[in-house]
Amino acid sequence: MTTQLITHPACLDHDPGPYHPENPRRLEAVLGALDADRFAALERVSAPRAHDDELCLAHPRAHVEAVLGSIPPMGRYQIDGDTIVSPGSADAALRAAGAVVAGVDAVCEGRARNVFCAVRPPGHHAEAAQAMGFCVFNNVAVGALRARVKHGLRRVAVVDFDVHHGNGTQHMFERDADLFYASSHEWPLYPGTGAAQDRGVAGNIVNAPLPGGSDGLAFRRAFERTILPALDAFKPELVIVSAGFDAHENDPLASLRLVEADYAWVTRALMDVARAHAKDRLVSALEGGYDLDALAASSAAHVDALMAA
């Protein structure tokens, strides 16, 4: 089995404006980095559109219809202060969620060992009934629930190393003991959620907030002491990663100080858990990362580690 790269050109057509941090150049940078010769063995797969029934695993149907109905035929529409959609946003958002669905299917059906979904818009801030924080639909939550409905898995974990807490994913998972969500994130920072005392209904929520200025050593300690032991005890049948690279020391939207080696390290650590409990099944989806050079290099380090697993 191999590593799949799932993406689609339509994800470049979501255009929140030239000065918006979450712009098409982000995905161009990631895909440019993954065009290097050392990634020739990646199996490149076109992301399908998520169907309404798949989106409705995580979102009420009325909300899905309202979001898709808000996409303007021209110009832009502001869903909230940070989340702006354009004519290409519907196809992009459907492909972003569809990529994670396709990735889950691929690892559960034995067609890939692991998957990186290079897509946008990101998803981890999207609440069940509210698009927010650059996010339209919650791509990883859709994928996690797909694993249950389609493939009969029970225990699914999402691990999020984006610098911002994934409020949407936590809120969707916290009342279900068989869904696990863990996050390392800068604190305090948008969206203001992710306190260490949040535990969910069965200790299935694990937050490791880090103060601004924390470096890779603090990040690794948070995983080694808090997140990885809880994830191992949960024994996930599938690991999904919210792979945000905005905790990098060069990122303009936060102040953690990670480098590429930290992303390679955490990817290997998560693959170790997937190997122990989930038959190697791991699906990663791009979230944040707003310095283009840092995003490209960090994504490449992440995929290097996936391919070497």
Given the DSSP bridges, would you call strands 84-85 and 179-186 parallel, antiparallel or unpaired? unpaired
Amino acid code (one letter) for 128: A
Give the HSE-up count for residue 159: Cα atoms under 13 Å, Cβ half-sphere.
25
**Is 51 a catalytic site residue?**
no
Residues shown for the chain? 309
* Chain CA centroid to CA 276, Å: 22
> Given phi > 0 = left and psi -120 to 50 = alpha, else beta, which region is 134?
left
CA–CA separation, 108 vs 144, rounded Å? 12
Catalytic choice (8, 14, 124, 125): 125
Looking at residue 137, the DSSP 8-state letter turns out to be: S
The terminus-to-terminus CA distance of the chain in angstroms comes to 11
CA–CA separation, 308 vs 275, rounded Å? 13
CA–CA separation, 23 vs 121, rounded Å? 9
Residues classed as catalytic: 125
